[in-house]
Amino acid sequence: MSDDGAQSFGQGHLPGITYAASLLLRLLPVPVVVVGEDDEVLGRFDNTDKSWSVLYSDPELLKRVVTKARESRICLITDELPALIGAVQCARNVVAILGPVCVGRVNQNFVKLYALRHHADNCVLMECDPLRLSSVLLLIHSAVSGEEISPGDFMERYFFNAQSVGRQSEAAVLSQGLMQAKPHNPGIFERQIREAIMRGDEESLARVLDSPYAGMRGTLARDALRNAKNLGIVDVTIATRAAIDAGLSVEDLYTVSDSYILQVENCRYPAEATALARSCAFRCAQEVREYLKRRRHSGNSPAVSKAKEYIERHLHDKISLKELAVRLKISPGHLMRTFKDEEGVTVGDYVRQRKIEAAKLMLQDEQHSIAEIAELLSFNSQSHFGRIFMELTGQSPAKFRRSRAGKGTVDD
């Protein structure tokens, strides 16, 4: 601890809080600056020279962090990632600032640029897991205010939104740190996640994801980043398959799954992959909740609702009225009449409509040829697929693909 810090904290400034903070910081030795209600620096837990502290060399940065902390009582400053600063308001408008630290491996070129940007001679950015930094902030905040905030909710508040995945800037998504060398989580953990998603219950999902079981993960690779990516891919798969089992469109959820997996593969930090998987789970729960709400207000009978759910889950199979009736344990005649009365189309026409909607999505990503799409959706042939597609859309699959891709050549 610096001399000025020793003098300040020896004068009775919040002795209980500073004592607790000093003990916590033995477990997480990061730089700490304490600012008083008059914006004067009361003390600094740091052995480096002041010229190396960006909070001293850049008063505007200090002011911005303090203002943010007083506005929200506890915050993380993430606009210069991989540099990260945390702050928490204590009693009497005093603010404790933790950091800056570095998320992930420290790059010395970035450190030099970071110091230059904030007019410091140099600076030290130690590597620090964002979850550990957040946990210290939350512990201080809880001791002062009595408010309990889950680490997962806190990370979500600052680093991602389930509806905005795909628009994050570099390293903008951070969450729970990777906990290595742990036993596999029990089967009940995965089952509870699936059940929460299938009910569209975000509160239950949050409780499960913040439970101790969340840290009991297996090791799928020796490299920490690769391990986090592998776990993220597994978790995305679990979440999207749960949403499919709840009745959502197979192709829509495959698209969601592929989107998240591609983003996981592009992650630069283990915490990003963990956060993306968590985001995917919440997105799936949200979409299931909206789907269930629509279904409750659709006016469909139980038989028609179950028929539509089965069709959505089996778009890649051949589906006949007779087979569907057997699956639902009702007579084909009753299903045919009820479905036509409620949906305005026959079961066969509805199946073809949904298959063509799935085909549209597949045609846009160009991963499969038109012949492959016809086979994947169980059409009798490519020509049969093309004929149905033309009837329902007014254009051929090749023309549709060309119009979406903006290309002059297609695989007719």
As a whole-number percent, the residues of the chain with pLDDT over 70 amount to 79
Amino acid at 224: A
Domain count along the chain: 3
pLDDT in tens, 21-38: 566 667 777 888 888 888
According to the model, what pLDDT value does residue 381 have? Answer: 92
Is the residue at 216 inside a domain?
yes
Query: Distance between CA atoms of 124 and 138, rounded to whole angstroms?
Result: 24
Number of H helices, E strands in the chain: 19, 5
Confidence of residue 253 (pLDDT cuts 50, 70, 90): confident
306 and 213 within one domain: no
363 and 287 within one domain: no
207 and 94 within one domain: no
309 and 215 within one domain: no
For the cut 50, the answer to whether the pLDDT of residue 366 exceeds it is yes
According to the model, what pLDDT value does residue 269 have? Answer: 85
Query: Distance between CA atoms of 187 and 9, rounded to whole angstroms?
Result: 49
Q: Are 155 and 275 in contact (CB under 8 A)?
A: yes
Is the residue at 411 inside a domain?
no
Is the residue at 357 inside a domain?
yes
Q: Parallel, antiparallel, or unpaired for β 41-45 and 32-35?
A: antiparallel
Q: What is the pTM of this model?
A: 0.43
Residue 51 or 85, more confident: 85
Q: Are 66 and 97 in contact (CB under 8 A)?
A: yes
What is the chain's percent helix, strand, coil content, to nearest 5?
Answer: 60, 5, 35
250 and 314 within one domain: no
Query: Distance between CA atoms of 200 and 195, rounded to whole angstroms?
Result: 9
131 and 69 within one domain: yes
Q: Residue 371 belongs to a domain with what CATH number?
A: 1.10.10.60
Query: Distance between CA atoms of 359 and 354, rounded to whole angstroms?
Result: 9
Confidence of residue 19 (pLDDT cuts 50, 70, 90): low
For the cut 90, the answer to whether the pLDDT of residue 122 exceeds it is no
pLDDT in tens, 219-231: 788 788 898 899 9
According to the model, what pLDDT value does residue 352 have? Answer: 93
229 and 339 within one domain: no
Tell me which residue range forms the domain holding 319. Answer: 302-405
Query: Distance between CA atoms of 101 and 106, rounded to whole angstroms?
Result: 9
Q: Parallel, antiparallel, or unpaired for β 41-45 and 74-77?
A: unpaired
Sign, CA torsion 70/74/80/84: positive
For the cut 90, the answer to whether the pLDDT of residue 388 exceeds it is yes
Question: What is the pLDDT averaged over residues 335-345?
Answer: 87
According to the model, what pLDDT value does residue 24 have? Answer: 65
Query: Distance between CA atoms of 376 and 353, rounded to whole angstroms?
Result: 15
Question: What is the pLDDT averaged over residues 323-342?
Answer: 88
Q: Are 120 and 52 in contact (CB under 8 A)?
A: yes
Place of tokens 């469909």: 300
200 and 248 within one domain: yes
Is the residue at 178 inside a domain?
no
pLDDT in tens, 259-302: 899 999 998 888 888 888 999 999 999 999 888 887 666 666 77
For the cut 80, the answer to whether the pLDDT of residue 249 exceeds it is no
109 and 9 within one domain: yes
Q: Residue 88 belongs to a domain with what CATH number?
A: 3.30.450.30
Cis peptide before 130 (omega within 30 of 0): no
133 and 8 within one domain: yes
369 and 319 within one domain: yes
Q: Are 206 and 157 in contact (CB under 8 A)?
A: no
**Token pair belonging to 360:** 């549209």
For the cut 80, the answer to whether the pLDDT of residue 43 exceeds it is no
